[in-house]
Amino acid sequence: MGRKTPFVEPNTDKETSMSTIVNEVLAANQAYVSSFGDKGKLPMPPGRRFAILTCMDARLDPAKYAGLAEGDAHVIRNAGGRASDDAIRSLVISYKLLGTREWFVVHHTDCGMETFTDDVMRKLLRSSLKTASVDASGWHDAGGGGGSPECEHISWLTIPNQEQSVLEDVQRIRSHPLVPGEIPIYGYIYDVKSGKLIEVPAATAAGKPFHAEMRAMAA
């Protein structure tokens, strides 16, 4: 497993720990299967007809923080919970084909996306593909070469300010021509210290539903 290059750390535990994870995942899955019950009969459309766009951060568990069971809702995750083109693609499929009627954008405190800029990420990736380290003075690449300028072609959608990023993402979704006006979009920040969802009132206000005839009247 893995490419052997002079730049691979001499970590003899690496393959062992990878297979340990696989074994743990498969054991957990076996336990899940044994108590799966009648969930095999769930229909594809989410039963509670809503969707959450949120960050991939390992501390966030949308099923727990929002009280979801299998079959309840769509959860779309990426780094930051940003309204990227691909997140919007999923949201459009979510209502158009699978009937969701309300959407949440949930960013969170202490997000990794607050710790760098496009510039920082591009410098790191141009330098090498190894995992970078971070300290009080910022991110540092491990060096060793092998980076790629491909990093210039990705907008990393970093977050200078959480309230602002929630607002911007709600606004972007709200104003998207493929998103119908009657879907309310709510903006929240999840507090990693308490587990609490804190509303961003300006975002929820920006995500308020409107009807097509109102838009026509306003025009």
Q: Please identify, among the stretches 33-41, 49-57, 175-183, 207-215, the one whose residues bind Zn ion according to the rule CB under 5 A.
A: 49-57
Rule CB under 5 A: is residue 170 a binding residue for Zn ion? Answer: no
Pick from 109, 128, 97: nearest CA to 7: 128
Element (H, E) at 20: helix 14-34
Rule CB under 5 A: is residue 57 a binding residue for Zn ion? Answer: yes
Judged by CB under 5 A, which of 53, 55, 68, 203 binds Zn ion?
Answer: 55
> Which residues are CB-contacts of 49 (< 8 A; sequence separation ≥ 6)?
73, 99, 100, 101, 102
Give whichever of 111 and 183 is closer to Zn ion, judged by the CB atom: 111
Q: Which amino acid is at 139?
A: W
Q: At what angle do helices 85-96 and 162-174 cross, to 10 degrees?
A: 50
Q: In this structure, are residues 107 and 203 in contact, taking their beta carbons and an 8 Å threshold?
A: no
Shortest Å, Cβ 97 to Zn ion: 28
Q: If binding means CB under 5 A, how many residues of this protein chain bind Zn ion?
A: 3
Q: Please identify, among the stretches 12-20, 36-44, 108-116, 200-208, the one whose residues bind Zn ion according to the rule CB under 5 A.
A: 108-116
Site for Zn ion in 112-151 (CB under 5 A): none
> What residues line the site for Zn ion (CB under 5 A)?
55, 57, 111
